[in-house]
Structure 1
């Protein structure tokens, strides 16, 4: 196996948040119309113009050339449910009814480790087909669901975050745990999987309505005992949900405050949705270092509302994008960017192509506190990357003739592209198969 490889194509990545201008200042965006990505033993060694790097390629370096293609970093999905793969595109409900009608019956099946592994294998293949190389993932209440997922991810050498759902009330008996069993099961899974290879664990209360205060306290205890694990949950997705939380936790100032009172907001806390946060909530998110998973496809499909990504980022809060399958109707972060653009238009703002690419790559890495490892092509980072074909469909090929620059090309790929534009994916410098 060749230890060092050079990949030649057009290359674009972000060095910093590019803001919202169509053409940001050069330090934030690095683009090579004819570029080389040099990878050694699974890590980025260099990136730059082919004219500069080709004459100095190391002896024995394998050169792989992809004319008319574009290399971007592996995309990062900050919120998704792997057990909901088989219920994607379910009709007609908003959040609370949707859980009762579709989610809970589907998740019941994940006590069976064989079923869980079969779904996990398909799910990870679907992520890779769509150019997603890292995700923050919900399991089910069953420890078997997490074992199956991590085993499947480990086989593919993927950087993944996942956890067992904690849920001790307001759910069917067949999905209910207890504060103590949730604590013990989660602790055992942390000790087995967290930090093993490229895997990380997330303490995962589903959302405040399905956990008692005692269970949320147990989640906080896990975060104290294992300070480098993640916290992954939902907050303020739906107006009826927000009102329900107010009834269940009358002593809390807000929905978000329920989590804060139980010690669940910190760096590496990933809070999905965050549509209905007030100023105090946003200040709390920024001060604690918690991050938002912006899930526009799901928010539109389930009819939850329009997240204000510009205002949220203005408050200094870390934001990544999530597909939220199966509430979301696509595994594609390109399609999710498409919906993010439309939602932001409806909020009276715009997202540039570079900002959308940032949310799907480096911004997602920052939200997950993984930007020292993934998110762009800085030397020393893990070599997860995607090859895009801008001519993947007749419409894209025709539209490409009229693209003036990389900003327009990226925008068109996000508005018209999906899994069909993903030609190849590499994980730690090795080509992945779905």
Structure 2
């Protein structure tokens, strides 16, 4: 495939690059083999050789890397938008375990939910997702195949939990849970091999410390190391959860994971709102990444995540929807909420600094919209250890992107919720994409602006 037009990406946390009139070639394997200005010699050659198959991106549109959702509970999509009125541990008992158990008992329902979820992810511009499933292996294979068939990158975790407040929704013992986890790793790999170019991978997934015995955690750490697979869980998420771990295990959440070799360079821990700066240093030392879920944190955690501090320490951080603890699947919401929460933290810092209270706060804690876009794209790919260059437009990177329409190039009339009055009023006004126009999309855009999706060079349809 050959594209010519405008490309927008955030190759680093501090940068937003708008590449005007570039030519990008995607090879037969779905990787970027060339990207350069149209006047480049090789670009001109490709335009001449492949002019019949050229996809021209018109004025008012651009390509941007697809989003990466680092934390999504697939079975909870069944009841997304409900039950956010209670503490975490109560919410799990009343809503979550029931829904997950139901999908494990009803394969047809699981197929319907997961197929619809995949479609919705494409609609939202999410090309890769790190997914929590249920405890039943067969149900998680339904999830893996649904994502594979939709053409999405999916990192699927079969839940491991030998402790539960719902007696009918648990694995019988640590040894039983470990055997099931090992079986799922093998069977998910088989799913990946059923179709050429499949993008599905298994993930070792202890739900969180309160649902896992020490024996189970130890075995999962050993399995992850032996099979070199990714790990995901919840870490220091909520006040009641942290208090439970202290009372039952006699140590902090992070120390439990560390003790059992579950903090690795291929681990993504969600939330981490109750981690202090020294704890963040521990994650840096292990290379462990964090899924920042600002919306669900507002509902279930009594403390916001230390995002700026984590970024300053060099931690790998991306964004998660945390459906259904977060009600919105679209990471556009997560980006905006991450900025809002950070600005509130910065406001609090300034008030405390003015009153000379609680010590010195030397750093601005707010992030801006460009940094949030980085977290939703490039940041997520680094957290997941995706192929080199993923989340940006560089040679060798997989071609995972979304096509965004801001306005009609001829009339200047905006798409969806966007309005560009200067372009409407003056047909002669320059149509070169500006940073202000991209920011307007970031703030106000929605699914009506998304007119295309690609993963590994393949066009996806909702």
Contact kept? 2:65, 2:392, Cα under 8 Å: yes
Distance 1:400 1:308 in 2: 40
Q: Which has the larger radius of gyration?
A: 2
Q: Match for residue 188 of structure 1?
A: 183
Q: Match for residue 356 of structure 1?
A: 372
Per-residue displacement from partner, 1:18-68 (whole Å, max 9, x unpaired)? 2xxxxxxxxx44321333322121211222333436522162351112311
1:49 aligns with 2:44: no
Q: Match for residue 408 of structure 1?
A: 436
Equivalent of 1:90, from 79, 82, 85? 82
Q: Match for residue 451 of structure 2?
A: 423
Q: Match for residue 350 of structure 2?
A: none
Equivalent of 1:12, from 8, 23, 26? 8
TM-score, length basis structure 2: 0.85
Q: Match for residue 22 of structure 1?
A: none
Contact kept? 1:203, 1:223, Cα under 8 Å: yes
Q: Match for residue 210 of structure 2?
A: 209
Distance 2:298 2:275 in 1: 18
* TM-superposed deviation, 1:14: 2.6
Query: What is the Cα-based RMSD across aligned positions, in Å?
Result: 2.2
Contact kept? 1:319, 1:359, Cα under 8 Å: yes
Q: Match for residue 246 of structure 2?
A: 246
The secondary structure found in structure 2 opposite 1:176 is coil
Distance 1:367 1:400 in 2: 40
Moved more, 73-82 or 87-96: 87-96
Per-residue displacement from partner, 1:373-421 (whole Å, max 9, x unpaired)? 6211211221111001224655412479699974433332222123222
The secondary structure found in structure 1 opposite 2:419 is helix
Contact kept? 2:273, 2:301, Cα under 8 Å: no
**Superposition map of 1:247-396 within 5 A:** 247-250=247-250, 252=251, 254-302=252-300, 304-348=302-346, 349-372=365-388, 374-391=390-407, 393=415, 395-396=417-418
Q: Match for residue 428 of structure 2?
A: none
Q: Match for residue 56 of structure 2?
A: 65
Contact kept? 2:110, 2:139, Cα under 8 Å: yes
The secondary structure found in structure 1 opposite 2:129 is strand
Per-residue displacement from partner, 1:317-374 (whole Å, max 9, x unpaired)? 1101111111112111111101011011011033223211210111111111115162
The secondary structure found in structure 2 opposite 1:164 is strand
Q: Match for residue 224 of structure 2?
A: 223
1:170 aligns with 2:164: yes
Per-residue displacement from partner, 1:157-197 (whole Å, max 9, x unpaired)? 32211111111113312210021121111111111223643
The secondary structure found in structure 2 opposite 1:425 is strand
Per-residue displacement from partner, 1:65-111 (whole Å, max 9, x unpaired)? 23111101121111111101121111312311211111111111222
Distance 2:390 2:397 in 1: 6
Q: Match for residue 410 of structure 2?
A: none
Contact kept? 1:129, 1:419, Cα under 8 Å: yes
> Residues 417 and 213 from structure 1, CA distance in 2 versus in 1: closer, same or farther, beyond 3 angstroms?
same
Moved more, 208-217 or 298-307: 298-307
Q: Match for residue 31 of structure 1?
A: 18
Contact kept? 1:11, 1:36, Cα under 8 Å: no
The secondary structure found in structure 2 opposite 1:165 is strand
The secondary structure found in structure 2 opposite 1:344 is helix
> Residues 409 and 301 from structure 1, CA distance in 2 versus in 1: closer, same or farther, beyond 3 angstroms?
farther
* TM-superposed deviation, 1:145: 2.2
Distance 1:303 1:31 in 2: 37
Q: Match for residue 25 of structure 1?
A: none
1:105 aligns with 2:95: no
Gaps of 5+ in 1: 19-27
Gaps of 5+ in 2: 347-364, 408-413, 425-430
Contact kept? 2:321, 2:328, Cα under 8 Å: yes
> Residues 108 and 274 from structure 1, CA distance in 2 versus in 1: closer, same or farther, beyond 3 angstroms?
same
Distance 2:370 2:434 in 1: 9
